[in-house]
């Protein structure tokens, strides 16, 4: 079979899934069987920028060096790490889990026996990092945690009436604090209460209480369904857009027997939260939506949600949408990159990778909106969900404000200011003043077509202003070169100068 | 009289156990350098977890550059397809516009599985393919991985034929963009004909470096690169133009290695010393500062701060002990520094905060957060110190002005600490 080449990997591995799923619970301490890099990246360097935390404190490496890789194995190092951590007291009242990494799996380290010689209750989790991606990994580790720390106590758990579990998020889930906040609001709006938020806001000690709820909500469609099925409660997934949100609230109301509250909440949301959508739709802003083309790269739930809300409900043109994990037929990064290089959409929801492709394409007219990892993004303000009712408003507001920005950036400004700036910068040398010459130069057909083609690449809204600006830039260069007609060559030069 | 042996060691000042090593993933150092080169399109041979993390930090701290990799999962690693996959990725990289260099960055799992260099192509089209081996388990710190990358490029690209440019020097180390201009200006005044700063944006600079007469590593972890330079016949100037005494000594050393006009060199050295002395006299630092980054340059920063008047009792770094760092270590220890720690761990740095009650801490992000939790002014060394002018008297002015500013901010750090205390 021909080898697969990855461009700008979007999905992390089973090891990352394990650390990011286990460590939000404060009564866990993880020892990772890892070289220094696997510890630093997952524990500090990346969560600094995905989760806006200084570092993950309940993670310690059994730092692997040449010796361990070269035949000694990692068991002694894991034991040494455990013993010395114990002496510091940080393992008191903690459940210790030893987690494998790609490199420890590579050298065949299996500590399922070793952990029995460590403190009581210490367990080994094989992260299967050479085979599993972060989505399959999170799904599996959630089930493993339930099996190891929750399921046995299931029978003794009393029902918590009208309560709802939320499964997901973990560290490294885009926009988690906001999505969670909106989900809580919707559950309560529909007449329920929140039971356990697993793993983000619970402890291993409390997780058996998952059995107490009436309903389970899977917050991210990408993972968590495995555990939700094991819990054996009715399952709902996160809604995006207006229709889905109504359907979600109705379904939850029906499951909990709180349909009256649910209907009242829907009616209230329409008059309050969603009023902004109705107002923007009726106002001049709404007219723009159908002129916009949108590219989407996001987690499965969000990708499908954006397709429905932006595409079906607001009427934007979805030019591509690729999910994480990818669905059959979704672009890989190579195809996404080529699409963006060829024609960047006016709005691009994505990760750092797509942002780089936009820069490579020199696309200054596209609006990038962060929607997935990898990439640095602070999403800790709980008021910016993409899910539910508030998500509709945030998305619409974000898009309209970007349109305003685009518009304002292309309204004409007197070019004398730029000349004055370069004047000052050049130590008082007089800069070439704009000719300000009246009248248009003659354009060859070829030149006119080239400009048209260039303009077709631009999003609709800034096109009018950009068109005038580009035309002036090209004519300016043509005049400087003493041309009486704008040729294809001069268009090329003008466009290049304008890209600057 | 017989010595009394304490039976109970508890409460004694024993050095803490190194549980949490402080380094970026070592390989990041090489990726940062390799992605910033114009025309360089790296291929990373590694597992997906590693690839995700390293791509993430490279896209944040290195360059906006697409990164290719062979898929190396259980199937590929176990069936010996590491080289085959890497070759396929090299082929894709070879189609990038303007490609001149394809560094193959070989990481933990690929190194463990085996990456025989002879099975990789030397070229893809016109682009040079250069293998850079940086498994984290063997390199230990990201500054040292920078050295591995630079050495690999020099080894492969530096021209070994043709006349040597007289009185020219390669300056080695990632520095703030204003620093090269100032150093170049100063060296030309002394009669240097040309300078090249490595590593920068230009691959051509690596080629031309081979025909320069000397190399001056500005950071103390470029030992492999120095070995390559020596093998080409270049002389090496030690030290760095940092602080008052360091700059003075460095200027004299460059002058003597390149055979520059002695009177002129002396004049420039005296001028720089006078300027630096005046800068310190105008605004001396006052306070206890811990310098505990992981960039490998911490000792030089500490030395400058001490010369500027600060008390720096504790310095730690991610790199290993080495003859190249020794002069700075000896200098610091004879100027009041009590501890210099190599390959440090978080525990040692935290213990130093307890021990020395600093007024200011420059550290890794975990350490800076510990200091802030105690209301002590603290910053991430990498983002705040290592990203400012540093060399010569003007660099010293910029750096100590910044440090002096931060030293006045104690109230704000205490306010935040108190605000979140309950």
Question: What's the longest Cα–Cα distance across chain B?
Answer: 80
* Euclidean distance between CA atoms A164 and A178, whole angstroms: 18
* Euclidean distance between CA atoms B146 and B295, whole angstroms: 10
A15, A100 Cβ separation under 8 angstroms: yes
Both tokens assigned to B345:
């761990």
- Nearest-by-CA chain B residue for A52: B365
pLDDT digit string (tens) for chain A, length 500 residues: 789 999 999 999 999 999 999 999 999 999 999 999 999 999 999 999 999 999 999 999 999 999 999 999 999 999 999 999 999 999 999 999 999 999 999 999 999 999 999 999 999 999 999 999 999 999 999 999 999 999 999 999 999 999 999 999 999 999 999 999 999 999 999 999 999 999 999 999 999 999 999 999 999 999 999 999 999 999 999 999 999 999 999 999 999 999 999 999 999 999 999 999 999 999 999 999 999 999 999 999 999 999 999 999 999 999 999 999 999 999 999 999 999 999 999 999 999 999 999 999 988 889 999 999 999 999 999 999 999 999 999 999 999 999 999 888 878 788 788 888 876 655 555 445 455 555 678 888 898 888 888 888 777 777 777 788 788 888 888 888 888 888 999 988 888 877 65
Both tokens assigned to B130:
């250069």
pTM, to two decimals: 0.92
- Nearest-by-CA chain A residue for B75: A131
* Euclidean distance between CA atoms B46 and A42, whole angstroms: 16
Cis preceding linkage at A169, omega within 30: yes
Contacts of B67 in chain A (CB under 8 A): 7-8
A312, A294 Cβ separation under 8 angstroms: no
Both tokens assigned to B329:
């270590």
Q: Of B48, B76, B136, which has the smallest distance from its Cβ to A37's Cβ?
A: B136
Contacts of B52 in chain A (CB under 8 A): 9, 11-13, 16, 134, 374
3-state secondary structure of B317: coil
Size of interface A-B (CB pairs under 8 A): 198
* DSSP H stretches of helix in A34-111: 36-40, 47-50, 66-67, 75-88, 102-106
* Euclidean distance between CA atoms B117 and B133, whole angstroms: 10
- Burial of residue A412, with CB atoms counted within 10 A of its CB: 0-12 exposed, 13-18 middle, 19 or more buried: exposed
**Among candidate residues A57, A279, A51, the one with its CA nearest the CA of residue A171:** A51
**Among candidate residues B245, B62, B234, B104, the one with its CA nearest the CA of residue B165:** B234
CA distance A265 to chain B (A): 36
CA distance B389 to chain A (A): 22
Cis preceding linkage at A35, omega within 30: no
Question: What's the longest Cα–Cα distance across chain A?
Answer: 90
Kindly report, residue by residue over A115-150, the tens digit of the pLDDT. 999 999 999 999 999 999 999 999 999 999 999 999
What is the CB neighbour count within 10 angstroms for residue A290?
11
B254, B260 Cβ separation under 8 angstroms: yes
Contacts of B140 in chain A (CB under 8 A): 36, 65
- Burial of residue A320, with CB atoms counted within 10 A of its CB: 0-12 exposed, 13-18 middle, 19 or more buried: middle
DSSP 8-state secondary structure symbol assigned to residue A107: T
Contacts of A64 in chain B (CB under 8 A): 137
What residue has token string 């010796």? Answer: A67
The mean pLDDT values, 10 residues at a time, for chain B of 422 residues are: 51 72 94 97 97 96 96 89 96 97 97 95 97 95 97 97 96 93 96 96 97 97 97 95 96 97 97 96 96 96 97 97 95 98 96 97 96 96 89 95 95 95 82
Contact between chains at B19 and A131 (C-beta distance less than 8 A): no
Contact between chains at B369 and A9 (C-beta distance less than 8 A): no
* DSSP H stretches of helix in B259-409: 262-282, 298-307, 326-333, 346-356, 365-373, 381-384, 392-407
3-state secondary structure of A369: strand
Helix axes A259-271, A176-189, angle to 10 degrees: 120
3-state secondary structure of A97: strand
ipTM for the assembly:
0.92
Kindly report, residue by residue over A390-439, the tens digit of the pLDDT. 999 999 999 999 999 988 887 878 878 888 887 665 555 544 545 555 56
Q: Of A36, A44, A376, which has the smallest distance from its Cβ to B26's Cβ?
A: A36
């Amino acid at each position: 079979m021909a080898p697969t080449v990855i461009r700008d990997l979007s999905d992390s591995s089973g090891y990352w899934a394990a650390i990011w799923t286990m460590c939000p619970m404060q009564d866990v301490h993880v020892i990772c069987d890892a070289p220094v890099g696997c510890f630093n990246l997952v524990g500090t360097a990346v969560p600094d920028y995905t989760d806006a935390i200084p570092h993950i404190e309940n993670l310690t490496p059994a730092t692997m060096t040449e010796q361990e890789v070269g035949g000694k194995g990692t068991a002694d190092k894991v034991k040494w790490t455990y013993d010395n951590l114990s002496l510091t007291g940080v393992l008191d009242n903690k459940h210790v889990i030893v987690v494998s990494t790609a490199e420890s799996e590579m050298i065949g380290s299996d500590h399922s026996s070793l952990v029995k010689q460590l403190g009581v209750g210490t367990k080994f989790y094989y992260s299967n990092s050479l085979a599993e991606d972060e989505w399959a990994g999170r799904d599996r580790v959630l089930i493993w945690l339930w099996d190891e720390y929750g399921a046995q106590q299931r029978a003794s758990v009393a029902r918590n009436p009208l309560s709802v579990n939320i499964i997901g998020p973990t560290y490294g889930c885009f926009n988690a604090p906001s999505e969670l906040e909106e989900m809580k609001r919707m559950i309560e709006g529909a007449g329920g209460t929140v039971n356990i938020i697993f793993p983000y806001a619970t402890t291993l000690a409390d997780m058996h209480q998952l059995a107490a709820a009436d309903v389970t909500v899977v917050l991210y469609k990408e993972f968590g369904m495995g555990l939700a099925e094991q819990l054996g409660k009715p399952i709902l997934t996160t809604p995006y857009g207006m229709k889905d949100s109504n359907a979600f609230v109705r379904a939850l109301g029906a499951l909990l027997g709180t349909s009256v509250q649910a209907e009242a909440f829907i009616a209230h949301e329409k008059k309050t939260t969603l009023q902004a959508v109705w107002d923007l739709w009726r106002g001049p802003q709404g007219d723009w939506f159908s002129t916009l083309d949108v590219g989407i790269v996001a987690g499965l739930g969000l990708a499908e949600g954006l397709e429905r809300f932006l595409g079906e409900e607001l009427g934007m043109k979805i030019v591509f949408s690729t999910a994480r994990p990818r669905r059959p037929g979704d672009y890989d990064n190579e195809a996404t990159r080529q699409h963006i290089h060829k024609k960047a959409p006016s709005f691009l929801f994505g990760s750092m990778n797509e942002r780089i492709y936009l820069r490579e394409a020199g696309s200054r007219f596209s609006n990038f909106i962060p929607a997935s990892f990898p990439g640095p993004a602070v999403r800790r303000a709980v008021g910016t969900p993409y899910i539910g009712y508030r998500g509709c408003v945030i998305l619409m507001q974000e898009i309209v404000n970007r349109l305003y920005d685009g518009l304002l950036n292309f309204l004409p400004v007197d070019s004398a200011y730029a000349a004055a700036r370069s004047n000052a910068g050049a130590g008082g040398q007089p800069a070439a003043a704009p000719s300000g010459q009246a009248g248009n130069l003659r354009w060859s057909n070829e030149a006119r077509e080239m400009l048209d083609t260039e303009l077709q690449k631009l999003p609709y809204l800034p096109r009018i202003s950009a068109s005038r600006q580009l035309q002036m830039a090209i004519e300016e260069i043509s005049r400087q070169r003493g041309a009486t007609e704008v040729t294809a060559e001069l268009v090329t030069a003008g466009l290049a100068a304008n890209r600057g | 009289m017989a010595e009394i042996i304490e039976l109970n060691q508890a409460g004694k000042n024993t050095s803490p156990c190194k549980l949490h090593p402080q380094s970026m993933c070592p390989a990041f150092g090489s990726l940062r350098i390799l992605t910033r080169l114009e025309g360089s399109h790296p291929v990373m041979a590694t597992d997906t977890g590693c690839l995700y993390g390293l791509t993430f930090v490279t896209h944040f701290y290195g360059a906006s550059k697409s990164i290719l990799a062979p898929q190396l999962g259980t199937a590929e690693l176990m069936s010996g397809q590491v080289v085959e996959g890497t070759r396929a990725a090299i082929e894709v990289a070879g189609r990038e516009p303007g490609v001149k260099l394809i560094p193959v960055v070989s990481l933990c799992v690929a190194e463990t599985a085996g990456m025989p260099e002879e099975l990789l192509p030397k070229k893809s089209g016109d682009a040079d393919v250069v293998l850079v081996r940086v498994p984290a388990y063997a390199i230990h710190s990201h500054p040292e991985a920078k050295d591995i990358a630079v050495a690999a490029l020099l080894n492969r690209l530096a021209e070994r034929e043709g006349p040597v440019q007289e009185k020219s020097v390669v300056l080695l180390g990632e520095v703030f963009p204003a620093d090269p201009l100032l150093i170049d200006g100063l060296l030309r005044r002394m009669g240097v004909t040309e300078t090249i700063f490595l590593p920068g944006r230009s691959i051509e600079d690596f080629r031309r470096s081979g025909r320069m007469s000397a190399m001056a590593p500005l950071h103390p972890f470029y030992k492999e690169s120095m070995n390559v330079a020596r093998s080409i016949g270049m002389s090496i100037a030690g030290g760095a133009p940092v602080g008052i005494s360091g700059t003075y000594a460095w200027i004299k050393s460059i002058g003597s290695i390149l055979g520059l006009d002695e009177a002129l060199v002396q004049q420039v050295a005296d001028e720089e010393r006078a300027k630096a002395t005046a800068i310190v006299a105008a605004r001396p630092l006052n306070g206890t500062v811990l310098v505990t980054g992981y960039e490998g340059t911490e000792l030089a920063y500490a030395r400058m701060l001490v010369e500027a008047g600060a008390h720096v009792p504790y310095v730690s770094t991610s790199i290993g002990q080495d003859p190249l760092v020794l002069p700075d270590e000896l200098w610091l220890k004879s100027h009041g520094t009590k501890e210099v720690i190599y390959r440090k761990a978080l525990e040692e740095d935290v213990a130093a905060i307890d021990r020395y009650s600093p007024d200011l801490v420059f550290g890794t992000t975990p350490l800076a957060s510990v200091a802030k939790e105690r209301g002590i002014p603290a910053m991430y060394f990498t983002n705040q110190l290592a990203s400012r002018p540093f060399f010569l008297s003007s660099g010293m002015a910029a750096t100590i002005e910044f440090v002096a500013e931060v030293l006045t901010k104690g109230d704000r750090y205490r306010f935040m600490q108190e605000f979140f205390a309950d």
